[in-house]
């Protein structure tokens, strides 16, 4: 398909625009199992939070509490059973018990290099954000100011209509479905979008010739008279 017949006259495919990596494969359903798994897990999480009354903090606390109780009971039960096995072996009594290993927990430690890399990355991003915020506050980039202001207004309006969890889930569903649908019906969407854009331009030109130009002339005449 010719680039002039595509939206924004692009020459690259959607997969190339998205980076041609794992994320692009997931968004375009080329790793169907991963995409379906993400949608299923996020749907289950949304149902748990919305229908059960749990918050993120309370759910994490409950999960960690259950995990710690299971590991604690496992370790204590293994120690008691192993003590019984040792006593049976020392007294030459057949107990019928086998050695039970403790919970297979690895030695959880963060490498110093990984912590330093994460800290450096966070520091760089935060400094960039603070620099851009300083430029906006000082009026050095009016275009960026209006873009940020418009984005914050849109976020405020959307946030007033729904909660953060529903918004996040809806956004994820859109990200994982709209690009795939567009890639599948790319030719039809591009053709009708370009036709609609050309029709809009013709309509605007007609309105400009019949209405807007007359309004501009009337305003200029009023200014000359004043």
* 187 or 127, higher pLDDT: 127
Please answer whether residues 97 and 88 qualify as being in contact, where contact means their C-beta atoms are separated by less than 8 angstroms.
Answer: yes
* 124 or 82, higher pLDDT: 124
pTM: 0.55
Secondary structure percentages of the chain, helix, strand, coil, to 5: 80, 0, 20
Torsion of CA 46, 49, 50, 52, to 10 degrees: 130
Q: Is the pLDDT of residue 120 over 80?
A: yes
pLDDT tens digits, 157-168: 877 777 777 788
- Listing DSSP states for 15-47 in one string gives HHHTTSSHHHHHHTTSSHHHHHHHHHHHHHHHH
Q: Is the pLDDT of residue 153 over 60?
A: yes
Q: Is the pLDDT of residue 1 over 60?
A: no
Amino acid 157: pLDDT: 83
The chain-wide mean pLDDT, for the chain, equals: 79
pLDDT tens digits, 61-97: 888 899 889 988 888 888 887 777 666 655 555 455 5
Amino acid 65: pLDDT: 92
Element (H, E) at 70: helix 56-90
Please answer whether residues 162 and 169 qualify as being in contact, where contact means their C-beta atoms are separated by less than 8 angstroms.
Answer: no
Q: What are phi and psi of 181, to 5 degrees?
A: -65, -40
């Amino acid at each position: 398909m010719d680039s002039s017949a595509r939206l924004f006259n692009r020459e690259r495919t959607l997969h190339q625009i998205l980076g041609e990596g794992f994320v692009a494969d997931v968004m375009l359903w080329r790793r169907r199992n991963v995409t379906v798994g993400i949608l299923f897990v996020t749907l289950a999480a949304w149902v748990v939070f919305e229908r059960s009354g749990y918050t993120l903090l309370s759910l994490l606390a409950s999960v960690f509490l259950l995990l710690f109780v299971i590991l604690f009971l496992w370790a204590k039960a293994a120690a008691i059973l192993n003590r019984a096995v040792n006593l049976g072996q020392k007294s030459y009594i057949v107990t019928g018990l086998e050695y039970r290993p403790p919970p297979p927990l690895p030695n959880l430690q963060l490498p110093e290099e990984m912590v330093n890399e994460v800290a450096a990355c966070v520091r760089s991003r935060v400094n960039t954000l603070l620099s851009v915020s300083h430029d906006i506050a000082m009026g050095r980039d009016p275009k960026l100011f209006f873009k940020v202001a418009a984005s914050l207004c849109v976020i405020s309006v959307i946030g007033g209509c729904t909660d953060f969890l529903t918004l996040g889930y809806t956004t994820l569903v859109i990200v994982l479905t709209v690009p795939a649908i567009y890639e599948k019906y790319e030719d039809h969407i591009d053709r009708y979008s370009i036709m609609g854009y050309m029709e809009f331009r013709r309509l605007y030109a007609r309105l400009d010739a019949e209405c807007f130009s007359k309004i501009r002339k009337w305003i200029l005449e009023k200014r000359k008279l004043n």
